[in-house]
Structure 1
Amino acid sequence: MASIIKKIITTAKAPLPVGPYSQAVVVDRTVYLSGALGTDPATGKLVEGGAIPEAAKALENIIVLLAAAGSKIDNVIKCTVLLNDMADFAGVNLEYKKVFTKDLPARTCVQVGKLPLGANVEIEVIAVVGDCTVEHVTVD
């Protein structure tokens, strides 16, 4: 049986973990990103201004991590958005739509009790490595 390689991805260009986990893990051609907060990689602190700026920064951090893992935002297949307050849903969606502009990934968005560092938003993604061909299929 062939061995599967599990690559642990670490980059100082994105915020370092605030707990015992990896920034990203690649197995075969799939990239699993840990939840990204809207933190500045240089300071490790959340950006100011609440959920919307935090979402924008979290998405920037995701783009950097995907690149470090050999992937890109267009290769995201699943996204999970965790909100401290569902009242931020519309504003976070505005930032989300600036990054995910076509061939949207599957997504879940939920309100949670509390996020690390007192964050308002956390976003995690699963993506693939390599070139992707997109087919749109509609089933009646």
Structure 2
Amino acid sequence: MNKEIIHTLQAPQAIGTYSQAIKVDNTVYLSGQIPLVPETMEIIEGDIRAQIHQVFCNLRAVAQAARGELSDIVKLNVYLTDLSHFPIVNEVMGEYFSVPYPARAAIGVAALPKGSEVEMDAIMHMLPQEYPAC
């Protein structure tokens, strides 16, 4: 098994014993992202919509560090402390994804790290890199 650690300064640094993502062959497992601003490591100010946008920005940064894009995500898990925010997740998600959408789960939880209202993790699958013949 070829296991590569993915790391970028463009996303929040891991606040525990985990990696931002792990790539195994053509699959990337992205760790949960909460709405931390990478430069300050503080939750973004604003409402749940701002938090959701920040989470997608953080996921995008990790995906790009793995040489992928959000469009390569095949499975997305969304964790919310208030499931009434789910319609906002759908609305904001439409700004970052298009058909075919990834498979998704939405889970209500009692609490998230640092008082966040939302967290997301993902699985990304990419086609093997093809390089032109010289």
Normalising by structure 1, we get a TM-score of 0.88
Structure 1: distance between partners of 2:48 and 2:15: 19
> Which segment is superposed worse, 87-96 or 53-62?
87-96
- Residue in structure 1 matching 2:4, options 3, 7, 10: 7
Matches within 5 A, 1:11-26: 11-26=8-23
**How many pairs does the alignment contain?**
128
- Residue in structure 2 matching 1:41, options 38, 43, 63: 38
The AA in structure 2 aligned to 1:29 is N
**Does residue 1:51 correspond to 2:27, yes or no?**
no
- 1:135 aligns with none
RMSD: 1.1
- 1:103 aligns with 100
What residue ranges of structure 2 are gaps of 5+ in the alignment?
129-134
Contact 1:50–1:120, Cα closer than 8 Å, also in 2: no
- 1:138 aligns with none
The AA in structure 1 aligned to 2:122 is V
Matches within 5 A, 1:128-139: 128-130=125-127
Using the TM superposition, give the Cα deviation of residue 48 of structure 1 relative to its aligned residue in structure 2, in angstroms: 1.2
**Does residue 1:121 correspond to 2:110, yes or no?**
no
Matches within 5 A, 1:66-77: 66-77=63-74
Q: Percent identity?
A: 34
**Does residue 1:92 correspond to 2:89, yes or no?**
yes
> Would you tell me which structure has more strand in proportion to its own residues?
2
Moved over 2 A (4+): none
